[in-house]
Structure 1
Amino acid sequence: MEVEVKAEFERSGFSLSEEEQILQKCLTFCINFGLTPSDLVSHWEVYYLNRQLSGLRVESAHLDGFLSYLQNEKKENIIKGESNVHIYSSNEVDMLLNDEEYDVKESFLSTPINQAEQPYLESHNTVTTPGTNERPSKGLTISSNRMTPFGQRTNKFVLQFAFNHQNVENGKEEVSATQEDDLIKRVKPSERCSLQIHCSQPNSGCRFMYDKIEDKFLSLENRIRRHATAFAASGLYGELTDATLASQKSIFAVGMVCSDGEGRLSENSVLLQGSVEHSGGQRVRLDLQKLVEFSLFPGQVIVVEGQNPSGHCLIASKVTDSLPLSIHSSVPSAKRQAIGQEDQSGVPPYTPKVLSMVIAAGPFTTTDNLLFEPLNEILAYASRKQPQLLILMGPFVDSEHPDVKRGTSSKSFDDIFNVEIIRRLQDYIGYMGSAVRVILVPSIRDANHDFVYPQPAYEIYPPEEIKHQITCLANPSIFSSNEVTIGCSTVDILKQLSGEEISRIPPDTSSADRMARLSHHLLRQRSFYPLYPPSIDVPLDLSLAPEALEISLFPDILLIPSDLTPFVKVLELRERNEANEPVKCVCVNPGRLAKGIGGGTFVELAYDTNPDKTTASILRI
């Protein structure tokens, strides 16, 4: 057989570098995987082309990767061969023992599928409604062929944190299938919520990564000047002066926080860069020794009160980073895009500022497969709770997923997105009816979408009858539903700020809450991404709709998914609105729906008039 293997390689034009060692390993491959010499060389040719190896010479170092390739091929063949095997779950066994009627063929995936998609869809697990002993709801099941670690978990949903709930202890408590959420049911599911898009840029199909140094300079300069104008107009500060000029008097200066080196920002490396208008864009060292409290990061625009006796160092006595609320500009109504307004006449009137929603951020599948079982679970949960708004934020086809990284999937990224995500959402909407809306926000980790930030919305083409119920927004974006303003961005800005921020915080103050403090930065800077220079993995393009990064309309709810600890917090700014009431915002980090081979977290939220009456639950799958 070794002679035949060598002859097959030579017939295909390949030579062997270490002939004896390579032939011995190839003989082992043939025996272990049941391959003939011809089949083995055919597999090698596919591996050689996929890996784009140079030269027609088989090296011993290539064989480890070739072995992994053969193992993956055998794994996929075994999975395909199990298409007619059904593994019964404990729920199904109980039903059979109790003589209950159970139709495995029952499915709400009624959309016609073509022959190419059929084998792919047949490999999916069962979509069941939550609960440990509850029978799957009629019309919500798909045949199950594989038993995965995710499918073998004991508890469906566990309450990890309850916000503003009465008589619920903060801890892990299982959510039973029969438990009704009064706050979600308070909004009747028959009432379809309104939807207006205030800011969703850039447009699909835009050219990106063509930004020049001039574009970056103008974006930063305009940001500093805009803040300086706002601080001056507020009347809370004196005349703004050049921070680089020597003066014995106390002065006010506006500038952007920078570092004097390549490394991480520290108390001894903080510089203040002024605008070209006030200081010619020069920088001056910032002395923070007199400050009792501060929280700074690169790119933050601040107003500093202090003295600069030598002209080389500004000794700060007070630092403010919160942009005055008076300059907060609402987007003109003429520019707002109303979704589905043509059929609003048939929709019952809704109560303003009341909205129920379920919020989740990707990944939507576990790392050991592409079956999207966590997505099945949250759709089943939403079908029972019937929220008015289902907000799903990317990544949907995660570029960090092992199978996506290796390219071992037999489907293209677009096919995975359309079949696994869009088709399921269409069927979810078809099952729920016209009262539900779905919002999709992409991520820079999406393998099938533009790798740029700000990021255009997905382009999808759902059926005509439900096209106004699935709305794709840009990343970041601002929209309103039932007069509740929501801002969202899927870039993990909290984690990036956490790695760049320096702070001096008294332990007995509210600023000691690190997650709240990091979230406050976005609201005070009025920016979805105030960090500059950006993180190395963020493709920030400042020439591409820089206004998209501005929080031009103060949100009632701010969605910022992160790998950090999930939370729901009410943030209060120091400013007050025209009614002399404190300005508050509900900040939500839903966490990740899937973590490793197990489930993650998502948030169920009911907004009722104001943040203080809002209730929310962080649920772990």
Structure 2
Amino acid sequence: MEEEIKAEFERSGFSIDEEDILKKCLTFCINCKLTPSDLVSSWEVYYLNRQLSGSLVQNAQMDGFLLHLQNEQKDAIIKEEPNLHIYSSNDVDMILCDEHEDTKEGILGTPTDRPENIYPESFDITPGTTGNRRPSSGKPSRLASNNMTPFGQRTSKFVVQSAFNNPLDEGNDVKEQEIDNTENDIIRRVQPIKRCSLQVCGSQPEPGCRFMYDRVEDRFNSLENRIRRHAIALVASGLYEEPTDPTVASQNKVFSVGMVCCDGEGRLNEKSVLLQGSVEHCGGQRVRLDLHKLTQFSLFPGQVVGIEGHNPSGHCFVASKVVDYMPLSISPNADLAPAKKQHLDEEFNPPPSNMLEELSLIIAAGPFTTTDNLFFEPLSELLAYATRKQPQLLMLLGPFVDSEHPDIKKAAIDRSFEEVFHEEVLKRVQDYAAFMGSAARVVLVPSIRDAHHDFVFPQPPLDIHFSDLKHQITSFANPGLFDANKVKIGCCSMDILRQLSGEEISRNPANGLSGDRMGRLACHLVNQRSFYPLYPPAEGVPLDLSLVPEALQIPSVPDILVLPSDLAPFVKVLPFGQRMNEEEQVKCICINPGRLAKGVGGGTFVELNYHGNADRTSASVIRI
């Protein structure tokens, strides 16, 4: 039969040189019950649809061809019998296990080696069926019992990897603890969750905005405004004098404000640091910085700092002190102008006063599916976990349709990126919101790695429209600032922590963060009052400073700062000193939830309960 298949391909003008391809084609014929001529006819359709070139059939095209054959068979069955329901092993398990929990516990069954149920689930929200699960009716289950994915073969579902302020774990020395995750449990609500308020803060790009039109002038003005704001803030604090020109030769100690730059295209080091002043004070000129007198510093390109020192020759500024933060006493007021805030609860009453500044939320960042398929199993299990825990707010940060996924990069899918997002992600989120009721809220934040969204930073929110769930599912810009129950939350799906980690140079950093590099990197964002203080941007970052540059600003220290990264997940409390006339120290909870999916396995997410301030907040990093 292999010879017949090869002859059919050659008759149609194609050639096969590898035996592995013939063996795969033979398997396709057997499994799909096709003749060699039918197989080649399907290949011609696939070849034309994919706009492939060349007459040689390649092994890399077989995965996409198999998916094409399976879709053809499915469409033929549905066309023949429109109301036909294709039963899967998930349906059989549901029917066989459809008995009361107490009855099941009393019967001792035969042990089996059957893996855990990993099929994507949605929830029946028909009146009178609250709490019952059913297989998703959008399409037949795509996983067969004999095609178990590596993600579904895990021995445990959810494991607490680390905890913060957990009263059950002394000294925060947390051992990995498995969370009970019975797949067929019946969800019972002890008390309904209380709806949280949402309020968008600051400016953000609008969906459908124009980008890739930034000019050199726009970039210059944005950087100049950062230096100017920093200088005004340092002078207004009363601790520093008016900045002077650092390029002028002087034996006296002077104070200057400027941006850290590198003298070449390579990585920043102690011998290549330049200081670029503002146009107002030195015409934007640069001068070399000598750091040998400093006992401690932490610098990166694009950082705006205050420098004390002297320039004896006019060619090199010898620094004696570096001020790398903006004083809290002169920070912009958190209460922005009315035009800068958007209320999202017009049709709902605000939460009771005793519930303000209290919030329960689950935070997860993409990718939401493993690299070996597009089944989105980690997302399904996250939503099932959130259904049991019932948080007031579920934060999902992109990428949702990851442009780095192997199937996306190879174009081995037969749907558009928008269809994948709506069918695999948005449909699951809609089922979750509908099942949980009007009190549950979901926030979606895009990523520049989203194949279905605008490739620009700052990034507009996802253009999603709902008729019945518009007050439950909200999309924010990237980066985004919003209030939830008066808890100020900032989030940015750009991996700025990893990018800063590759550019920062330091010597005995201050603030007690010498041994906590992740905390120090996160502090840079708040100290610089910017979600992306790095300049020039990292390779591959489509930074557009003409597109609402205010969207990158952090006007005040947020209560919670969410920064997803490929680096190790963490939950940290970062101190930022005291504001004027206030005794309590300003603190920010910085969270890196990690990635929900890593390779062919699960990743991590964060569950957090905020109670007024950082000291009474508990959080857990959970491995899925």
Which of the five TM-score ranges fits, normalised by the shorter chain?
Answer: 0.7 to 0.9
Partner of residue 562, structure 1:
565
Q: Give CA-to-partner distance per residue, 1:320-341, whole Å, 9 cap, x none.
A: 1101223321312453111123
Aligned length: 576
Instruction: Confirm whether residue 243 of structure 1 aligns to residue 272 of structure 2.
Output: no
Instruction: Confirm whether residue 174 of structure 1 aligns to residue 185 of structure 2.
Output: no
Q: Does the residue aligned with 1:511 lie in a helix, a strand or coil?
A: coil
Instruction: Confirm whether residue 198 of structure 1 aligns to residue 201 of structure 2.
Output: yes
Partner of residue 114, structure 1:
none
Partner of residue 399, structure 2:
395
Distance change in 2, residues 1:423/1:88 (3 Å) = closer
From 337, 341, 365, the equivalent of 2:342 is 337
Q: Does the CA contact (< 8 Å) of 1:193 and 1:350 recur in 2?
A: no
Partner of residue 119, structure 2:
125
Partner of residue 58, structure 1:
55
| Bigger shift: residues 215-224 or 23-32 | 23-32
5 Å-filtered alignment, 1:184-583, equals 189-329=192-332, 330=334, 331-344=336-349, 348-464=352-468, 466-505=469-508, 509-583=512-586
Q: Tell me which amino acid in the other structure corresponds to 1:435.
A: A
Q: Which runs of 5+ in 2 are unaligned?
A: 30-34, 78-84, 106-116, 124-128, 183-188
Distance change in 2, residues 1:51/1:575 (3 Å) = farther
Aligned equivalents of 1:149, 1:198: Cα separation in 2: 42
TM-score normalised to structure 2 length: 0.84
Q: Does the CA contact (< 8 Å) of 1:360 and 1:393 recur in 2?
A: yes
Q: Does the residue aligned with 2:453 lie in a helix, a strand or coil?
A: coil
Report the CA distance between 1:456 and its aligned residue.
0.3
- After superposing on structure 2, the runs of 4+ consecutive aligned residues of structure 1 that deviate more than 4 Å are 1-12, 21-33, 66-83, 87-102, 347-350
Report the CA distance between 1:37 and its aligned residue.
5.1
Aligned equivalents of 1:196, 1:175: Cα separation in 2: 33
Distance change in 2, residues 1:141/1:159 (3 Å) = farther
Distance change in 2, residues 1:153/1:92 (3 Å) = farther
Q: Does the CA contact (< 8 Å) of 2:157 and 2:181 recur in 1?
A: no
Report the CA distance between 1:138 and its aligned residue.
3.3
Partner of residue 110, structure 2:
none
Q: Tell me which amino acid in the other structure corresponds to 1:63.
A: Q
Report the CA distance between 1:423 and its aligned residue.
1.9
Q: Tell me which amino acid in the other structure corresponds to 2:395.
A: I
Partner of residue 140, structure 1:
133
Partner of residue 595, structure 2:
592
Q: Tell me which amino acid in the other structure corresponds to 2:559.
A: D
User: Aligned residues: percent identity?
Assistant: 55
Partner of residue 152, structure 1:
153
Distance change in 2, residues 1:88/1:418 (3 Å) = closer
| Bigger shift: residues 585-594 or 371-380 | 371-380
Q: Give CA-to-partner distance per residue, 1:585-607, whole Å, 9 cap, x none.
A: 01011111111111111111111
Distance change in 2, residues 1:492/1:476 (3 Å) = same
| Bigger shift: residues 359-368 or 90-99 | 90-99
Q: Does the CA contact (< 8 Å) of 2:361 and 2:395 recur in 1?
A: yes
CA RMSD of superposed structures (Å): 3.4
Q: Give CA-to-partner distance per residue, 1:187-244, whole Å, 9 cap, x none.
A: x744211111112510111001111111111111111111112112222112311111
Q: Give CA-to-partner distance per residue, 1:364-384, whole Å, 9 cap, x none.
A: 111122121111111111111
Q: Does the CA contact (< 8 Å) of 1:324 and 1:575 recur in 2?
A: no
| Bigger shift: residues 565-574 or 325-334 | 325-334
Report the CA distance between 1:385 and its aligned residue.
1.3
Q: Does the residue aligned with 1:342 lie in a helix, a strand or coil?
A: coil
Aligned equivalents of 1:449, 1:268: Cα separation in 2: 41
Distance change in 2, residues 1:354/1:2 (3 Å) = closer
Q: Does the CA contact (< 8 Å) of 1:399 and 1:447 recur in 2?
A: yes
Q: Does the CA contact (< 8 Å) of 1:571 and 1:586 recur in 2?
A: yes
Partner of residue 115, structure 1:
none
Q: Give CA-to-partner distance per residue, 1:342-370, whole Å, 9 cap, x none.
A: 3216x655422111111111111111221
